[in-house]
Structure 1
Amino acid sequence: MNKRIYLSILMLCTIFMLFSSCSYKLSLNGQSIPPALKTIDIQYFENNAPLVVNTLSQQFTEALKNRIRSQTNLTIVRGDADASFSGAITGYSIAPVSIQATNPNSPPIAGASRLTITVNVKYSYNVKDASPADKKLSFEQSFSKYKEYTGDLNNQEQGLIDDIVKQLIDDIFNQAFANW
């Protein structure tokens, strides 16, 4: 009889821990997507920066779509949607952040440089009959991230862009869905 009670208690504890861990995991991602939000339109982010990298618009737009697909249950649609992302890449700049010592007869060179990408994002929450709190979820904001590097940019530019785009997508996603 004691074994039966012990096994029953053990089984109940296991089930409780299983369900507890599931709900804990769901709350860890920090998402606060309103239940009425089912579809989203992610428009193409044009590159309007003074320096243009040909693949950056497509890379940024696809990275945002992939994040939405992998982290939410939202359906990406074209046109009429419960919410939408639009915007443009407005900055792509390279600037020195430190000067490397050289001999007195030669010009100074950059010891380290910084690649900065800036994106203007408009997020519109369009659900009909949304609560006043949900309507405040819309925003238009500029996001900027950078990565420092040394040496020749050409050999590492794509890796730097990948890292910066990931950071930008994290910030945009958190602003839209985590309310941080």
Structure 2
Amino acid sequence: MVFKKIYILLLLIGLTSCRYSFTGASVPPHLKTIAITTFIDRSGSGEPDLSNKFTNQLIQKFINDNTLQVTDKSNSDCLIEGTITSLSDAPAVISGNETITTQRITINVRVIYKDLVKRQTIFERDFSNYTDYKIDASNIINLRKTAIDETIDKITEDILLGVVSNW
């Protein structure tokens, strides 16, 4: 009977200690604010406004997450700087008659995350993601734009997770 009570107690302790949360998991406690500089577009893709779209999406991710307050560089505890290194639009699926049916947008970025309080780089990392889209000659421009937007959304989410949960 005593053994059974100890077993149940240990089981309850084990279950309550297994909670898992990403919120603020790896953000050092002295970091409260973040600045995000405009990402430099070195992709050579010629995609209009890619730099601003990317930067604005990343800022919005941090605002929505609310782990770090977004502010300007002069008032921030940490900083994200980045470069869009490539944007490719390549065939992803080719049908039996050698017709391209699906294209893949891939975006690669280089991100530097700095602690401005301790004056050190927390990480310098490459992020990459992609989105596939079907080929439809009547709507190719909109489908490509949507794929770019979805890819930006995925990468900015990855960057956010890299900062707030050391993913």
Using the size of structure 1 for normalisation, the TM-score is 0.71
Q: 2:63 aligns with which of 56, 65, 69?
A: 69
1:157 match: 144
Amino acid in the other structure paired with 1:55:
D
Give how far 1:57 is off. Answer: 1.1
Question: Distance between the aligned counterparts of 1:117 and 1:82, measured in 2?
Answer: 28
Contact 2:22 2:164 in 1 (8 A): no
Contact 1:46 1:89 in 2 (8 A): yes
Contact 2:94 2:100 in 1 (8 A): yes
Query: Which is higher, the Rg of structure 1 or of structure 2?
Result: 1
1:49 match: 43
Amino acid in the other structure paired with 1:122:
I
1:31 maps onto 2:24 in alignment: yes
1:20-71 Cα distance to aligned partner (Å, 9 max, x none): xxxx7xx634432222112211000021102121122111101111111111
1:146 match: 130
Question: Distance between the aligned counterparts of 1:171 and 1:145, measured in 2?
Answer: 9
Q: 2:112 aligns with which of 90, 115, 122?
A: 122
* Cα 1:115–1:54 shift into 2, 3 Å: same
Larger CA deviation: 81-90 vs 144-153: 144-153
- Structure 2 unaligned blocks of 5 or more: 1-18
2:88 match: 93
Give how far 1:171 is off. Answer: 0.9
Amino acid in the other structure paired with 2:64:
S
Percent identical residues: 31
Amino acid in the other structure paired with 2:83:
A
Question: Distance between the aligned counterparts of 1:177 and 1:74, measured in 2?
Answer: 8
Question: Distance between the aligned counterparts of 2:78 and 2:147, measured in 1?
Answer: 30
Amino acid in the other structure paired with 1:145:
N
* Cα 1:147–1:139 shift into 2, 3 Å: same
Amino acid in the other structure paired with 1:28:
S
Question: Distance between the aligned counterparts of 1:163 and 1:56, measured in 2?
Answer: 13
Question: Distance between the aligned counterparts of 1:37 and 1:179, measured in 2?
Answer: 14
Amino acid in the other structure paired with 1:100:
S
Using the size of structure 2 for normalisation, the TM-score is 0.76
User: What RMSD, in angstroms, separates the aligned Cα atoms of the two structures?
Assistant: 2.2
Q: How many residues align?
A: 145
1:86-113 Cα distance to aligned partner (Å, 9 max, x none): 01111110111222233xxxxx321222
